[in-house]
Amino acid sequence: MPRRPLRLQVRPSTLRSAVRWNSTSTTTAAEGSAPFTPGSEQYKGYTKYVLDKRNNPTPILSNEELSERISRIPLKNYRNFIIVAHIDHGKSTLSDRLLEITGVVNPTVDNKQVLDKLDVERERGITVKAQTVSMIYHYRGEDYMLHLVDSPGHVDFRLEVIRSYASCQGALLLVDASEGIKAQTVANFYLAYSMNLHLIPVINKIDLDTADVPRAEDQIEETFELLRDDIVHVSAKTGFNVEYLLPKIIEDVPAPPAEKYNRELPLRAQVVDSWYDPYVGVIMLVNVVDGSLKKGDKVEFCKTSERYEVKEVGVMYPDRRPLPLLVAGQVAYVIPGFKDPNNVFVGDTLRKVGSAVEPLPGFEEPKPMVFVGAFPADGTDFKKMEESLQHLFLNDRSVVFQRTTSNALGQGWKLGFLGSLHASIFKDRLEKEHGKNLIITAPTVPYKVAFKGGREKIISNPDDFPDGTKKSSVVQLSEPYVEALMTFPKEYTGAVMTLCENNRGQQKELQYLSNGQTLMKYDIPTAHLIDDFFGKLKGVTRGYASLDYDDAGYKPSDIYKMELLQFEVVIQARANGRVVARETIKARRKDVLAKLHASDISRRKKLLSKQKEGKKHMKSVGQVHIANDAFQAFLRRE
Ligand X SMILES: Nc1nc2c(ncn2[C@@H]2O[C@H](COP(=O)(O)OP(=O)(O)OP(=O)(O)O)[C@@H](O)[C@H]2O)c(=O)[nH]1
Annotated binding-site residue? 207: yes
Closest to ligand X by CB, 122 or 615: 122
From residue 179, alpha-carbon distances to 87, 193, 203, 204, 258 in Å are 11, 22, 10, 10, 39
207 binds ligand X (CB under 6 A): yes
The dihedrals phi and psi of 582, each to the nearest 5 degrees, come to: -150, 135
| 3-state SS, residue 511 | strand
From residue 212, alpha-carbon distances to 23, 33, 237, 342, 584 in Å are 15, 21, 17, 50, 68
- Using CB atoms within 10 Å of the CB of residue 495, give its burial: 0 to 12 exposed, 13 to 18 middle, 19+ buried: middle
| 3-state SS, residue 234 | coil
- Residue 209 Cβ vs ligand X, minimum distance, rounded to whole Å: 9
Closest to ligand X by CB, 126 or 148: 126
Annotated binding-site residue? 283: no
Annotated binding-site residue? 91: yes
126 binds ligand X (CB under 6 A): yes
92 binds ligand X (CB under 6 A): yes
Q: How far apart are CA 298 and CA 287, in angstroms?
A: 18
| CA angle centred on 282, ends 281 and 285, rounded to 5° | 140
The dihedrals phi and psi of 73, each to the nearest 5 degrees, come to: -90, 120
Query: Which single residue brings its beta carbon nearest to ligand X?
Result: 153
Closest to ligand X by CB, 87 or 159: 87
Using CB under 6 A, pick the residue from 42, 127, 134, 460 that binds ligand X.
Answer: 127
- Residue 151 Cβ vs ligand X, minimum distance, rounded to whole Å: 8
Annotated binding-site residue? 595: no
Q: Are 481 and 554 in contact (CB under 8 A)?
A: yes
- Residue 152 Cβ vs ligand X, minimum distance, rounded to whole Å: 6
- Which of these ranges, 61-69, 200-208, 363-371, 388-396, lies near ligand X under the rule CB under 6 A? 200-208
Closest to ligand X by CB, 79 or 91: 91
Annotated binding-site residue? 89: yes
Q: Each residue of 151-175: b (16+ CB within 10 Å) or e?
A: bbbbbbbbbbbbbbbbbbbbbbbbb
Q: Name which of residues 101 to 120 contact ligand X (CB under 6 A).
A: 113
125 binds ligand X (CB under 6 A): yes
Site map (CB under 6 A) of ligand X, residues 533-572, x = contact? ----------------------------------------
208 binds ligand X (CB under 6 A): yes
Q: How far apart are CA 600 and CA 549, in angstroms?
A: 53
Annotated binding-site residue? 395: no
Q: List the beta strands (DSSP E) in 123-212.
A: 131-139, 142-150, 170-176, 198-204
- Which of these ranges, 9-17, 125-133, 189-197, 277-285, lies near ligand X under the rule CB under 6 A? 125-133
Annotated binding-site residue? 171: no
Element (H, E) at 525: strand 517-525
Annotated binding-site residue? 138: no
Closest to ligand X by CB, 152 or 525: 152
- Residue 205 Cβ vs ligand X, minimum distance, rounded to whole Å: 4
80 binds ligand X (CB under 6 A): no
Annotated binding-site residue? 90: yes
Q: How far apart are CA 432 and CA 434, in angstroms?
A: 6
- Using CB atoms within 10 Å of the CB of residue 286, give its burial: 0 to 12 exposed, 13 to 18 middle, 19+ buried: buried
Question: Which of 298, 299, 322 is CA-nearest to residue 312?
Answer: 322
Q: Are 602 and 384 in contact (CB under 8 A)?
A: no
188 binds ligand X (CB under 6 A): no
- Residue 382 Cβ vs ligand X, minimum distance, rounded to whole Å: 35
Closest to ligand X by CB, 93 or 219: 93
Q: How far apart are CA 53 and CA 47, in angstroms?
A: 10
- Residue 176 Cβ vs ligand X, minimum distance, rounded to whole Å: 8
503 binds ligand X (CB under 6 A): no
Q: Are 361 and 411 in contact (CB under 8 A)?
A: no
Annotated binding-site residue? 126: no
90 binds ligand X (CB under 6 A): yes
- Cis upstream peptide for 35 (omega within 30°): yes
Q: Are 208 and 179 in contact (CB under 8 A)?
A: no
Closest to ligand X by CB, 73 or 208: 208
Annotated binding-site residue? 110: no
Using CB under 6 A, pick the residue from 88, 156, 217, 548 that binds ligand X.
Answer: 88
- Residue 121 Cβ vs ligand X, minimum distance, rounded to whole Å: 7
Element (H, E) at 480: strand 474-489
205 binds ligand X (CB under 6 A): yes
Using CB under 6 A, pick the residue from 103, 107, 153, 373 that binds ligand X.
Answer: 153
Q: How far apart are CA 437 and CA 211, in angstroms?
A: 48
Using CB under 6 A, pick the residue from 79, 91, 434, 521 that binds ligand X.
Answer: 91
Q: Are 608 and 584 in contact (CB under 8 A)?
A: no
Annotated binding-site residue? 440: no
- Residue 235 Cβ vs ligand X, minimum distance, rounded to whole Å: 4
Using CB under 6 A, pick the residue from 20, 89, 182, 434 that binds ligand X.
Answer: 89
Closest to ligand X by CB, 210 or 469: 210
Closest to ligand X by CB, 314 or 318: 318
Closest to ligand X by CB, 207 or 290: 207
- Which of these ranges, 9-17, 85-93, 354-362, 395-403, lies near ligand X under the rule CB under 6 A? 85-93
- Residue 82 Cβ vs ligand X, minimum distance, rounded to whole Å: 12
Q: Name which of residues 233 to 272 contact ligand X (CB under 6 A).
A: 235-237
For the chain, what percentages of helix, strand and coil (3-state, to nearest 5) are there?
Answer: 30, 30, 40
Q: Are 334 and 293 in contact (CB under 8 A)?
A: yes
Contacts of 559 (CB under 8 A, 6+ apart): 447, 477, 479
Binding site for ligand X (CB under 6 A): 85, 87-93, 113, 125-127, 152-153, 204-205, 207-208, 235-237
Residues contributing to the annotated binding site? 85-92, 204-207
Residues contributing to the annotated binding site for GTP? 85-92, 204-207
